[in-house]
Amino acid sequence: MTEQLWLRPAEALARANELKLMTPTQKSLEMVGKYRDVESLLAWAREPREVALIMPRVGSGSQGMRPVMPDEFAWAELGRLDPAGHGTSCYDIQPGAAVQLSPRLIRVTANNGSIMTGPGTNTYLLGGGATNEWAAIDPGPLDEGHVDAILAAAPGPIRWIFATHTHTDHSPAVAPLKARTGATVYGQRSAHSQWQDASFTPDVSLEGGERFELPGDTTLRAIHTPGHASNHFCFLLEQEKLLFTGDHVMQASTVVINPPDGDMAAYIESLRSLIANEDLEWIAPGHGFLMTQPKRAMQGIITHRLKREAKVIAALRALGAVDAEALLPRVYDDVQPRLHAMARRSLLAHLLKLRSDGAAEETGGAWRLRG
């Protein structure tokens, strides 16, 4: 027997459990329910537009096996690792657990999750092949337990260590990992001291443009991407068009640009250069799951930063000559006060960019627009 019932979307959603609505039905009703009447819904439907995917993927994790929606961070990675949808891949990032991302690529995440590091710092292992030798990217914070996890996850000896940059959640474990493997270390020392791992001493200093032929048909190219840090490098795994972005692109959170080592103009320029010059399919961030549509993600970051810059300009226009402290609540009115310490650094980065663009000037701590 088929029962029929006319309901408004909101009424159906309120009874979702009783009506046993499938996820796609529920999501469709949520989408449709946003429109005040049929007219406005049809007007929207006639417009050229992007339709959000509703197709869930099945994953496993701390809540057991469950559908994972496209707006969840694990969704893209589940599609790559478990295309047939057996639910064998994980929707959580579990510190210390090795995740095989491809035959030549493994991820182990450090147990240092926080508001700054998201689910923790990712260490990547790549290589393998006939010699079964491996490279490690970003060994992470000083944590012997994590170094143990990296060594346990590596199927063979680690011969090379690369550092995207030298913030204290990325490179301090380089020294103990080198001590236990004898690997050669590649990266660049920092010119500044704040938040930096002063112990970092590369055997080979990178400049950008270097290519490394690693075992297992693995070619890694270093790309200098200053902005988050002046000594920041992304590494491109050419065979998979996969970019290790360190903190240049993070999943889930806005990258902190902390002057003077952090530089907003350089950050945006580094993103633009990646978009213009590289063929990319995947991002392997320093924090978070694998991400698809790299250029779209990067363009989104640029747009977000320029929107923030526009707010800085609007606030300067409205307030006249003011110190940065007075601008903060106005420019970051959408950011929780507990994050204002970080926002303060980013605001300074925006102001310095505007000054170097010739759009703003500062005297005695007071900022104003020029001309």
Residues near Zn ion (CB under 5 A): 167, 247
DSSP 8-state code for residue 216: T
* Contact between 189 and 201 (Cβ < 8 Å): yes
- Cα 159 from Cα 178, distance rounded (Å): 9
Instruction: CB nearer to Zn ion: give 248 or 308.
Output: 248
- Which conformational region is residue 292 in: left (phi greater than 0), alpha (psi within -120 to 50 degrees), or beta? beta
Residue closer to Zn ion, measured from CB, 214 or 297: 297
Q: Least CB distance from residue 170 to Zn ion, whole Å? A: 6
Distant-in-sequence contacts of 321-324, Cβ < 8 A, 24+ apart: 321/363, 321/366, 321/367, 321/368, 322/366, 322/367, 322/368, 323/365, 323/366, 323/367, 324/348, 324/351, 324/365, 324/367
Q: What does the alpha-carbon distance between residue 266 and residue 135 come to, in Å, rounded to a whole number?
A: 28
| CB nearer Zn ion, residue 107 or residue 287 | 287
Least separation in angstroms between residue 204's CB and Zn ion is 21
φ/ψ (deg, to 5) at 320: 75, -145
Give least dist CB 283 to Zn ion, A: 16
State the residue number with the nearest CB to Zn ion.
167
Beta carbon nearer to Zn ion, 116 or 359: 116
By beta-carbon proximity to Zn ion, the closer residue of 89 and 164 is: 164
- Smallest distance from Zn ion to CB 251, Å: 14
Provide the minimum distance between the beta carbon of 258 and Zn ion in the complex, in angstroms, as a whole number. Answer: 9
For residues 29 and 175, which CB has a smaller minimum distance to Zn ion in the complex?
175
Q: At closest approach, how far in Å is the CB of 268 from Zn ion? A: 17
Shortest distance, position 37 Cβ to Zn ion, whole Å:
49
38-62 residues labelled b (16+ CB within 10 A) or e (exposed): eeebeeeeeeeeeeeebebbbbbbe
* C-beta closer to Zn ion: residue 104 or 167: 167
In degrees and rounded to multiples of 5, residue 9 shows phi and psi of: -50, -45
Print burial letters for 145-161: b (CB count within 10 Å at least 16), e (below 16).
ebbebbbebbeeebbbb
